[in-house]
Every structure is written in C-alpha cells, then in structure tokens.
Amino acid sequence: MRARPPLAPLAVLAAALLLAGPARAQDVAAEPAVPLADSYQLTNADGDRVCPLVLTSRPHARKGAPAGQFDITLDRAACGGAILFSVDIASWAPGPGESIWLQGPDGRLVAEFTEGVGGTWEALREGDGVYFLVNPRLADPALRAADLVGGWDVAQTAGRPLCRIELTDTPAGGDVFRASLAPGCAAAIVALAPDRWRLDGSDLVLLTAQGEGFRLARQEDGSWEKVPPGEGTPLLLSRP
C-alpha cells in the first residue's frame, strides 16, 4: 500500500495562509496613514495651550469601525484641561489633500485640519476658534515679529496690488505694533483701515481702530492670505 503524504506540512501551510490574510489586510489599511502618522502638538491659536498626541498607523480597534480609521494616543486627563474638545477624540483618518480628520468614538468628525506650511495643519471650529496641529519634526522655526517688519503689497487678487502697508516695530501695547497705509490706496483697502498688527501663533492679524481683526495665514511662497478664504473681503499681502 502506498504511504499517504504527511499531513502536518499541509496543515502548517494552510494555517500560515489564514494568518497572512488578515495581517496583509491590516498592512493595506495602514498604508494611507503612514505618511501622516507621527507625533504632533495640538495647540490653540495663541500657542499657550498644548496637547501632545500621536497619530498611529494602527487600524482603530472600535468594533464596526470602517477601514481608514486609525488609533490616536494622548493623555486625556492632561489634554482635557488644555484643549477642551480633545476629550472627544477617539481616532483619526487621513482626508483629501493631506488633511487630517480627528474623530469621536462614533466616527463623528470632531475637527478637520487642512495642511498649511512648515509642518502645520489648521482647523477652524465653528463657535470655538482656530486650532493648529504641529509636527515638531517638520515645523519651521518659530516666526518672529521682526520677520514681518517692512513694506507689503496689499491686494484682493494675486498679482494686482492695490496699496502698500508698512508693518512697523513701533509698540502699540502688549505684543501689538503700529501699521500704516501708504498714500493713494484704493478705497476698498482704505475702508478696512488697518492701523496695527500682531502675530497670533503662526497667523498675522491686522487690527483696526474699531478693534476688529483680519486673520491671515502664511502661504508656501511667503505671502499671506486672509482666512477663512471666501468669507468677506479677500485680502492678500506679499513682499514688493
């Protein structure tokens, strides 16, 4: 009688294939997150409240969680006292255009951070304010007020300056400095009447005599654009 082939090697092979399937699926699910998975600092606009966190590439363990959600690590007790909405964060997901979505336990979007410059992502929470997600490994050196002092072209459309504003280093109280418009500015810019400025985190804020502020975010080319875009009068600042 012909001897039967041993079953053990076949059983081992089958088991290996069964184990490899889920492992490979997990690897595939993690691939989109790998470029963004890293250590970050979640901060308010002033940068005086900070919550360190880690976006991992581990698929989120919540039962029924869809593919593409990943675990997030943070000290909830410490972060809750600094950034109130951090207590609602349970997972994260990469979004369109290298954006980062922070999500709640039920998968609800808590905050959407869009990519800015220098390792910084920015989110505007309705009724709450502006927040930043900063990757210290990629972040540019901290911007200083001295870096902005001087003349800037003011425009509503890129490449079509309507005026020039001078950001000075003359103190106007606290961390605020004087600003002045050059003669001959277009009426639309004169109506805005910015007369002071300050840095707010990584944003530039132009202030008026009425105390109103226009927030501008730094662009990749070193210019500044009023945010959020599409809300109110467009405003662009660029070096002459």
* CATH number of domain containing 155: 2.40.128
Q: Is residue 227 in some structural domain? A: yes
Q: Is residue 225 in some structural domain? A: yes
- Mean local confidence (pLDDT), 119-134: 92
- Based on the domain organization, do 98 and 176 belong to the same domain? no
- Based on the domain organization, do 124 and 97 belong to the same domain? yes
User: Reduced to 3 DSSP states, what percent helix, strand and coil does the chain have, rounded to the nearest 5?
Assistant: 20, 40, 40
Q: Is residue 191 in some structural domain? A: yes
Does 61 score more than 90 pLDDT? no
- Mean local confidence (pLDDT), 35-54: 91
- Domain span at residue 58 reads 32-134
Instruction: Mark which of 134, 154, 185 sits at the end of a domain.
Output: 134
pTM greater than 0.85: no
Q: Is residue 166 in some structural domain? A: yes
- Mean local confidence (pLDDT), 58-63: 82
Tokens (6 digits) for 37: 């998975």
What sign for the dihedral angle of Cα 175, 176, 178, 184?
positive
Dist. CA 60–CA 65, nearest whole Å: 7
Q: Is residue 11 in some structural domain? A: no
How many structural domains compose the chain?
2
Does 1 score more than 50 pLDDT? no
Q: What percent of the chain has pLDDT over 90?
A: 45
Report pLDDT for 8. 47
